[in-house]
Amino acid sequence: NGDVRVNGIKENGTDAEEVKTPFLIGVAGGTASGKSTVCKRIMEQLGQADMDHTQRQVVCISQDSFYRELTEAEKAKAKKGLFNFDHPDAFNEKLMYDTLQSILAGKIVEIPSYDYRSNSRDFENKLTIYPADVVLFEGILVFYFPAIRDLFHMKLFVDTDSDTRLARRVPRDINERGRDLDQVLTQYMTFVKPAFEEFCSPTKKFADVIIPRGADNTVAIDLIVHHIGEILRPGGCTANAAPIIQLKRRDRE
């Protein structure tokens, strides 16, 4: 049923595999700062991008999967770019917290992807997260909610200037998210920019590492990849990680 037992409890008297609670990395930053791209680079450089889940040691999930369901009235607003998707209230904080707790407990969790065209969670395309050694959780407000912020063992903030972010967001939203130019610009000026200043930017102070220029910053990405590589190394040390939990992972056996 996907549960794993904690504290090294043995099954049938056989040895429990000794593994650690996943090392959870939060990746925050403004819209189009390069969070998703930075996470992709980290996975690629660790040779994890195309790996089978049974072998995979690093996984990445997005905060978008935790947008709350909209009412019919909100859906109508969202279609016109008049719903505030950049406000903390747009997210299901409890679901996000509970899911991260399950991941930290080594459980298998299923996470819907997000469909920007319908502004809703896409349960047809679920991502199954198997226990991994490192979990990246990326999104604009991953450091906003204190209880969630406290779950991370490492916090990265992708810091790309606003002009660059807008210049990247416009073509991305038109080409990949089914929006038109007017809608993207209206939404940006009405909600995205003010919410960035009020809710996202102030969370930069919680970061352990700030990555200026996002994915262009190959030096910063190399340093982070090196650090994660150390954690993944057999016998590797998770230094300041949460108390080590012994987990038995049935799915790897």
Instruction: For residue 147, give the nearest of 98, 77, 204, 218 by alpha carbon.
Output: 98
Binds 34: which of ligand ADP, ligand C5P, Mg ion, none (CB < 5-8 Å by kind): ligand ADP
119 close to 79: Cβ distance less than 8 angstroms: yes
Is residue 65 part of the contact set for ligand C5P (CB under 6 A)? no
Helix, strand or coil for residue 9? coil
Within positions 21 to 80, which residues make up the interface with Mg ion, using CB under 5 A? 36
Side chain identity at 197, as an amino acid letter?
E
- Give the binding-site size for ligand ADP (rule: CB under 6 A): 13
Is residue 42 part of the contact set for ligand ADP (CB under 6 A)? no
The total of other beta-carbon atoms located within 10 Å of residue 76's CB is: 12
Is residue 32 part of the contact set for ligand C5P (CB under 6 A)? yes
192 close to 31: Cβ distance less than 8 angstroms: yes
CB of 31 to ligand ADP, least distance (A): 5
Q: Decide whether 54 or 218 has the Cβ nearer to ligand ADP.
A: 218
CB of 165 to ligand ADP, least distance (A): 8
**Residue 209: strand pairing partners:** 156
Is residue 65 part of the contact set for ligand ADP (CB under 6 A)? no
Is residue 66 part of the contact set for ligand C5P (CB under 6 A)? no
Run of H or E including 149: helix 146-149
Residues that bind ligand ADP (CB under 6 A): 29, 31-37, 168, 172, 214-216
